Amino acid sequence: MKLITNLDHSKEEFDKRLRYKTEPVEKVTSKFQDVALELLKAMYSLNAIGLAANQVGLKIQLCVLDPAFLFGKKIPIVMFNPQIVEHGEELYGSPEGCLSLPEFGLTVPRFRKVVVKYLGIGGKEHTIKDDNSLLASVLQHELDHLNGVLMVDRLPERQEVTYKDHIIIEGD
Ligand SMILES: [Zn+2]
Q: Write the pLDDT tens digit of every residue in 15-74.
A: 888 888 999 999 999 999 999 999 999 999 999 999 999 999 999 999 999 999 999 999
Give the other-Cβ count within 10 Å of 114's Cβ.
21
Q: What share of the chain is helix, strand, coil (3-state, %, to 5)?
A: 30, 30, 40
CB atoms closer than 10 angstroms to residue 6: 20
Residue 124 has pLDDT above 90, yes or no: yes
**Cα–ligand 1 centroid distance for 138 (angstroms):** 9
In this prediction, residue 119 has a pLDDT band, given cuts at 50, 70 and 90, of very high
Domains of the chain: 11-170 (3.90.45.10)
pLDDT digits (tens, 9 = 90+) for 77-90: 999 999 999 999 99
How far is C-alpha 65 from the geometric centre of its chain's CA atoms? 7
Give the pLDDT confidence score for residue 44 in this predicted structure.
Answer: 96
| 27 Cα to the center of ligand 1, angstroms | 25
Distance 169 CA to ligand 1 centre (A): 9
Q: Of the given ranges (18-22, 90-94, 102-106), which has the lowest mean pLDDT?
A: 102-106
Mean pLDDT for the chain overall: 88
Q: Is 90 a catalytic residue?
A: no
Give start and end residues of each alpha helix (H) in the chain. 30-45, 134-146
Residue 93 CA to residue 127 CA, distance in Å, equals 24
pLDDT digits (tens, 9 = 90+) for 130-163: 987 899 999 999 999 999 999 988 887 655 555 4
Distance, CA of 54 to CA of 56 (rounded, Å):
5
In 3D space, the residue among 40, 64, 73 whose CA is nearest the CA of residue 141 turns out to be 64
